Amino acid sequence: MELKDLIGQTSEWLKATGPDSDIVISSRIRLARNIGGLKFVDWANNKVRQEIAKKAKEAILSSNYMKNSIYVEMDKINPIDRQFLIERHLISRDHAVDTESKTVFIGDREIISIMVNEEDHLRLQVIQPGFVLDDAWSIMESLEKDLEKRLGFAFSDEWGYLTACPTNTGTGLRASVMMHLPAIVFTRQIDNLTDAVSKLGLTVRGFFGEGTQAIGNFYQISNQVTLGHTEIEIIDNLKRVIIQVVSQERGSREFLKAKKKKIVEDKISRAYSTLGGAHIITSKETLELLSLVRLGIDLKLIKNIDTHKLNELLIFTQPAHLQKLEAKALSPSDRDIKRAELINKKLGIKG
């Protein structure tokens, strides 16, 4: 496979399968790792970064876990392709700038991706649909052990795995869950939830992770602390919180059906009609309207659209995806037109 082939497939994490997939879109595990004996990326000159990239490439491509993976040199692709990878949650925003000696490896189903020379030498990622943090960790643990044999990661008996940022030292693990929480937002409980979660050592971010705001009622909840806790403790703590959030969202949805049914039905109906009737639509408005339609599907108010299709549109209506589909650069106004056309084609809504 090549990078251009990704536009023709759906990322595994968008397939709306797995436990609690009506609320939990995806579960992700990330690990920060550095090769022993080599300077951290920010302290390394380009010669050292090239050495890191070479060692990582040899190890990753020889791993059974990365057979048929796509290898991308970040400075060899254009800005649209870089944004495309961000939109698919395969690289971070930081990985798309200052791209010299940066690479990324993408597994054939996009479950696994590995950034090289981001903040750390390696950023390993496993992402799967639904509430499956344990499954994601199982894949990650096997992958990490395999690469550690080949590379030898920087480790201290006192501090654990050594990382460029002190907040990652210890396990180097970031576990996160992408959630759709429209009922909690509608009932104005989201600020209380965010405050409660932060007191438990977790953080809440937007659809595209760190540094992004929540749009369309989509939130990422992840751990903040890695030092002094084992991987299992970090994951179990996050799981306990997510179970409570899922329960709260379900309870809020039941409240809306019982006490605010007509208001909710009106909002969902208007969102559905707007999507069907729009000739021009922005990406922000699209996420907000898709969120309401997704709630309508979950509440059985909309029955002719499946969640998988809706999840696809969350990504395929993003700017770089639209331009990849058209195979050319588009102005913002042209993207707004093409976005409306794509939504109508995919959902078959008649406004």
Whether 166 and 274 map to the same domain: the answer is: no
Task: Flag whether 135 is in a domain.
Answer: yes
- Tell whether 266 is covered by a domain: yes
State mean pLDDT over 49-77.
96
> Is 320 found in the same domain as 207?
no
Looking at residue 110, what DSSP letter applies? S
One domain for residues 67 and 206: yes
Last residue of a domain, one of 207, 227, 250: 250
Are both 34 and 62 inside the same structural domain? yes
Average pLDDT, the chain: 94
Give long-range contacts, CB 8 A cutoff, 24+ apart: 246-253: 246/20, 246/23, 246/24, 246/131, 246/179, 248/184, 248/189, 248/193, 249/23, 249/179, 249/181, 249/183, 249/184, 250/23, 252/183, 252/184, 252/186, 252/187, 252/189, 253/183, 253/295, 253/298, 253/299
pLDDT digits (tens, 9 = 90+) for 251-276: 999 999 999 999 999 999 999 999 98
Quick one: 169 and 35 in the same domain?
A: yes
Domain boundary among 250, 283, 307: 250
Do 140 and 277 lie in one domain? The reply is no
- pLDDT of 306 reads 87
Q: Are 327 and 288 in the same domain?
A: yes
Is 255 inside a domain boundary?
Answer: no
The answer on 273 and 245 residing in a single domain is no
Whether residues 209 and 189 share a domain: the answer is: yes
Distances (CA, A) of 336 to 99, 331, 341: 29, 9, 9
For residue 76, tell me if it sits in a domain. yes
Query: Which of 222, 250, 278 is a domain's end point?
Result: 250
Residue 143 belongs to domain with CATH number: 3.30.590.10
**What's the pLDDT band for 350 if we cut at 50, 70, 90?**
low
Both 191 and 230 in one domain: the answer is yes
The pTM of the whole model exceeds 0.85: yes
Residues 196 and 64 in one domain: yes
Domain total in the chain: 2
Pair of tokens at residue 69: 């993976």
The domain of 338 spans: 261-347
Q: Over the stretch 283-306, which tens digit does the pLDDT of each residue have?
A: 999 999 999 999 999 999 998 888
Lowest mean pLDDT among 6-20, 250-264, 336-350: 336-350
Residue 131 resides in a domain: yes
Lowest mean pLDDT among 176-180, 196-200, 332-336: 196-200
**265 and 246 within one domain:** no
